[in-house]
Amino acid sequence: MGGGGVMFPGDFYRVALWWGPGALLLVILAYGSLRLGRLWIEESMTAKRRQMEALLDMLRQYVEQFVGAQKSQAEALARLAAGVERSDSRESLEHQQILIALKAMHEDIERRSHQAME
């Protein structure tokens, strides 16, 4: 009876009694570890998404402020050009070309700011 023969039902129950709780504990620990790993990955992805959203929001605000400042500058230059254009003083051809270029820049900035806001 002491050889490597067929296991009797009594031996099976004894092995199950000794190894069953350990196997059950191992399954429970593995399941808990998988759930914890999944939760950790989800939380880290959520944190990265929030960081990216904050970065994009900051970038959007910067671009809006930059476009607003450029628009204000272009409007001021256009008003200056319109005021100088209406005066009866004798400007040189170069001065007139600068005024035309300023008007063109103002129109270009206006067009681009409307495109950026859409």
Q: pLDDT tens-digit profile of 25-73?
A: 999 999 999 999 999 999 999 999 999 999 999 999 999 999 888 888 8
pTM, two decimal places:
0.47
Whether 73 and 108 have beta carbons less than 8 Å apart is answered as no
* Nearest residue to 109 (alpha-carbon basis) of 62, 84, 75: 75
Name the residue with tokens 């504990």.
25
Query: What are the counts of helices (DSSP H) followed by strands (DSSP E) for the chain?
Result: 2, 0
